[in-house]
Every structure is written in C-alpha cells, then in structure tokens.
Amino acid sequence: MSYNLTDLTLTQALSQLRSRQISAVDLTRAHLERIEKLNPHLKAFLTVTAERALQDAEAADRARAAGDDRPLLGIPLAIKDVLSTRGIETTCGSKILKGYKPVYDATIVKRLSEAGMVLLGKLNMDEFAMGSSTENSAYAITRNPWDTTRVPGGSSGGSAAAVSAGMAMGAIGTDTGGSIRQPGAFCGIPALKPSYGRASRYGLVAFGSSLDSPGPLARTVEDVARITGVIAGHDPLDSTSVKADVPDYVAGLEGGVKGLKIGIPKEYFIEGIQPEIDMAVLAAIEQLRGMGAEVVEISLPHTNYSLPVYYIIAPAEASANLARYDGIRFGPKVDKGEMWATYKATRGEGFGPEVKRRIMLGTYALSAGYFDAYYGKAQAVRTLIKRDFDLAFEQVDVIITPTTPKTAFPIGQNSDDPLQMYLEDVFTLPPSLAGICGLNVPCGFDFQGLPIGMQVLGKAFGEDTVLRVGHTYEQANQWHTHHPPVGLA
Ligand code: GLN
C-alpha cells in the first residue's frame, strides 16, 4: 500500500472500510504496531487491549460483510483512563485505583461499542484529571509528539498524544476546566468539550461533578463531529444529562459562516500571551471574516474571577467525590489493623501531591466556618460569569479566543509551581464554569514549530454551530494535514 493506514482520518478510514479497500483488522493491526513502536517513548497508553481490539475488528469485518454500517464500525479508538471499562483496569492515573476493574462500562463507552468502535486501550492522564500537563499521573509522563521534551497538556494528555501521533483514530477525554481543549491545542488536533449535560457522566469517575464533560479528540473537525454524534444524548442513568435533541452534526458541517456573528472578547487578548498565538488567532478570525462572518468586539467582564472561582468549586467538589477512596471498596488497601489508621495510610500512600492539595483546599473551603465565604461566594460569582456569556450570546453566534496563553511547555517547567500550572487554564475555565461548549481548532504553529489552537465557544447545546465554524476554517487551511515528526526514522 502506498500510504500509511495510521495517517488516515477517521472519515477517510470509514469510507475505505465501506468500499472494502481496507479491513478493520488491517486498520487495527496498523494502529497496534504504531502503539508498540511509539508508546514506550510517548507513554500515551496505560493499558493496551490488543486482544480485545483484534476481536472487535474481526467482529466489525464480519458485521460489515453482512451489510452492517454502524457509524463507527471498525474504527480503532482509545479511552481516557477515567472512564469505566468493564473488566479492563481503570486507574484514573492514580495508585489508589491500581488493579481496579469496573464491573460495568460507562454509558459513553457502551454507546461507542454499540456504534462499532474497536477499543485499543486506556490512556494516561493527570491523577483524577487534576492537572494541565499529565505530569501528575502516578504511572508515567506522557510526551508531546511534536517535541518529546515537552508536555502534551492535560489532563487528557494521553488522549491528545495518542491521536496526534497516529496511535488511535480518535480518543475520548474529559474536560472539567480545559482538559480536552488544552491538550488538543498543545498537540495540534481538534478537540471538543461538549456542553455540560450533553454527554452522559455515568461511569465517568467524578472530579468536579458540576463541571465534568466527556468529549472527543480526533484528526479533523468532521471526525470530532462523528464521535460527538455517538456519545451525545440523554441517559436515564445520569440525572444531569439533558433531554435535548441531538442534531446530525456531520450533516450540519457544510453551512459555511456567511452572516454568522463572531464575538471577540477583549479580556482574552491581553498582555502576556505568546505573540505568535495572538497573531495566529487574529489571522484566523480575519480569514473567517473574509468568508462572510461578521466580527464584533464583546466584553466578558467577570473573566478575571474565573480562576479563583474554579479553584474553589472544583477542589470542593473533588474533596467530596474523593472521600470514597478509603481502601475498603476500591483498589489497594494499606492495612493498619485499626480503621482510621488504615484510611490514613491508604490515602496517604494512594494519592499524589496534587490530589492531596486539592482535597485540602476543598475541605477547607467547605468547612463550617468558611462555607459561605468561599464556596457560597464562588457559586454566586460563577452565576455572574455565566451571565456574561448569556448576554454575549444574545449578540453573537460564537466567541473566538486563544485556547491557551502559551504553547506546550517543557516537561518539569511548571511542576514545582502549582499557581503557574493553574494559570495555563485562564482561557478554558470560564466556559467550563458557564457549562457551554468549546472546540479547540488548530490554527498554526509557533516559531519553534509547536501547534497553536483557537477556542471556538458556542452557547449551551450549540455544538453544531461551533463544529460548523471549526470545519469551515479547517477546510480552508492545511493545518490538519501536518503530522508530528515522531516515528519517522
Ligand atoms: N487543569 C485544570 C485542573 O487542574 C483542569 C483539569 C480538567 O479539566 N480536568 O483542574
């Protein structure tokens, strides 16, 4: 064959599977070989389910031969290790869940399997999704395929690295404050945080329950749209998943941007942003204007409060959610005979430093004397942040900002400075607090050849519009045809 099967986009692979040019088994083998070659260095996968993948692929080929054409039939995908997979170890990047094999699949894993996915394995992440670099994993540091001395972003760094390096055709990540969009930006791939409630959280190990949103990372916006169509929709097992119609995202991609109003929030184009990012995002906006969009300057005045508000609310919810890890029900137990000593030793050894920091922050913010001053206040300000977006979306259809203030940073650079690490999320936190959707779209490279991403934000349940804008921009450019320089030798 004159091309590499791992260079195909998901959409191209589907059409070649349909025309019988390729088989799911060949496609899966090619990805497993690529994983075998690259994963020892990149460490995107924590678990590779090679046997299961080949079985899925054989079943997909048989089904297709019998006339089946489900939306992801025979497509090799991988899942962040925060989503429960029946019988497959699910660690959340934490020692405290080492060896834990869930007895059920998360709803979105089930939906992907029902749509015909071939499951390649589970992907590395910051412990319990807390972090922006994947350096907080208890197991391995994932490397950025564009420059392996740098981080892939986080917390879904394994997901972004796997897709960008051609080890999976698409991946599922989760985004609480930026963990899909930021690694998407750092690794140069489209990545969607759906609106809160759009995709089920059932079987997703909770971090910040009022923020967590699972979503796809893939090679092109169209690929992202295909996966979104499968995972979106109401789930009776998740009371916060919303009963709203799921549009045909792929069919909606071609409408163009003529007459569409794009808001540019002045609070996001500030001093301190890497100049190439500023230039690339503004150039992308100009290009969309040239294609018929109208560009309007807007203001989101409470933007500055997002970081402190998020770092009260997310740790508060995390401290409650993580109380269940006591060595009794899940994972390893450090047995000290007596109950409190056992809890203490299990949690002391099982959790890493960032998780402990968040539990302490959250417990403090929720404690009796401080609840109103911290948690109560943060929730009130969160409403103001959401109102900023509500007002903006009365004027505009989408909002475009940089996804990150800087491109991928070197491994180790921010690890001793939590505050600096938290600042990586300034542009992705406000939309998470507001519960709206956001898509990272690659829009260039910096002077060192590292990918740059822009963030296209839409109102809650407006995924179809952000995908259309992202697709229109992507198709007018060539960024998605660039592949990172790994595994060439
Ligand atoms: N980096 C942010 C944090 O550490 C966001 C993480 C996420 O979205 N899961 O909390």
DSSP state for residue 204 in the 8-state scheme: B
Residue tagged active-site, from 23, 84, 137, 155: 155
H helices then E strands: how many in the chain?
15, 11
Whether residue 221 lies inside any domain: the answer is yes
Whether residue 429 lies inside any domain: the answer is no
The pTM (predicted TM-score) of the whole model is: 0.97
Cα(133) to centroid(ligand 1), Å = 9
Cα(191) to centroid(ligand 1), Å = 15
Q: What is the CATH number of the domain that holds 175?
A: 3.90.1300.10
Whether residue 189 lies inside any domain: the answer is yes
Q: How many domains does the chain have?
A: 1
**Whether the CB of 130 sits within 6 Å of ligand 1:** yes
CA 400 – CA 421 distance, rounded (Å): 23
Helical H segments across 291-352, by residue range = 306-321, 339-350
Domain membership of residue 144 as a residue range: 2-254
CA 110 – CA 97 distance, rounded (Å): 21
Whether residue 463 lies inside any domain: the answer is no
179 is catalytic: yes
Whether residue 157 lies inside any domain: the answer is yes
Residue tagged active-site, from 137, 159, 179, 306: 179
Ligand 1, atom 5, lies closest to the CA of 177
Cα(373) to centroid(ligand 1), Å = 23
**Whether the CB of 431 sits within 6 Å of ligand 1:** no
Q: Token match 């519009």: residue? A: 465
**Whether the CB of 176 sits within 6 Å of ligand 1:** yes
∠ at Cα 99 (321, 76), nearest 5°? 90
**Whether the CB of 132 sits within 6 Å of ligand 1:** yes
**Whether the CB of 354 sits within 6 Å of ligand 1:** no
Q: Which tokens hold the place of 17?
A: 């599977």
Residues 27/5, Cβ–Cβ less than 8 Å: yes
Cα(448) to centroid(ligand 1), Å = 26
Per residue in 190-225, pLDDT (tens digit) is: 999 999 999 999 999 999 999 999 999 999 999 999
Whether residue 406 lies inside any domain: the answer is no
**Whether the CB of 314 sits within 6 Å of ligand 1:** yes
Q: Which tokens hold the place of 233?
A: 């929709």
**Whether the CB of 428 sits within 6 Å of ligand 1:** no
Residues 313/362, Cβ–Cβ less than 8 Å: no
**Whether the CB of 155 sits within 6 Å of ligand 1:** yes
CA 160 – CA 168 distance, rounded (Å): 10
CA 305 – CA 113 distance, rounded (Å): 40
Cα(457) to centroid(ligand 1), Å = 18
Cα(361) to centroid(ligand 1), Å = 15
Cα(186) to centroid(ligand 1), Å = 15
- Exposure class string for 457-477: b at 16+ Cβ within 10 A, else e: bbbbbbbbbbbbbbbbbbeee
Q: Which tokens hold the place of 416?
A: 């001793």
Give the ligand 1 atom nearest the CA of 424: 1
Whether residue 217 lies inside any domain: the answer is yes
Q: Which amino acid is present at 397? A: D
Per residue in 156-182, pLDDT (tens digit) is: 999 999 999 999 999 999 999 999 999
Residue tagged active-site, from 80, 122, 406, 459: 80
Beta strands in 244-307 (DSSP E): 261-265, 294-298
333 is catalytic: no
Whether residue 359 lies inside any domain: the answer is no
From first to last of the 489 residues of the chain, give the pLDDT tens digit: 436 999 999 999 999 999 999 999 999 999 999 999 999 999 999 999 999 999 999 999 999 999 999 999 999 999 999 999 999 999 999 999 999 999 999 999 999 999 999 999 999 999 999 999 999 999 999 999 999 999 999 999 999 999 999 999 999 999 999 999 999 999 999 999 999 999 999 999 999 999 999 999 999 999 999 999 999 999 999 999 999 999 999 999 999 999 999 999 999 998 889 999 999 999 999 999 999 999 999 999 999 999 999 999 999 999 999 999 998 888 789 999 999 999 999 999 999 999 999 999 999 999 989 989 999 999 999 999 999 999 999 999 999 999 999 999 999 999 888 888 888 899 999 999 999 999 999 999 999 999 999 999 999 999 999 999 999 999 999 999 999 998 765
**Whether the CB of 326 sits within 6 Å of ligand 1:** no
Name the residue of 132, 209, 432, 440 whose CB sits within 8 Å of the most ligand 1 atoms, as the mutation to test its pocket.
132
Give the ligand 1 atom nearest the CA of 310: 10
Give the ligand 1 atom nearest the CA of 314: 10
**Whether the CB of 212 sits within 6 Å of ligand 1:** no
**Whether the CB of 173 sits within 6 Å of ligand 1:** no
Cα(341) to centroid(ligand 1), Å = 30
Contacts of 472 (CB under 8 A, 6+ apart): 253, 256, 257, 288, 291
**Whether the CB of 175 sits within 6 Å of ligand 1:** yes
Give the ligand 1 atom nearest the CA of 311: 10
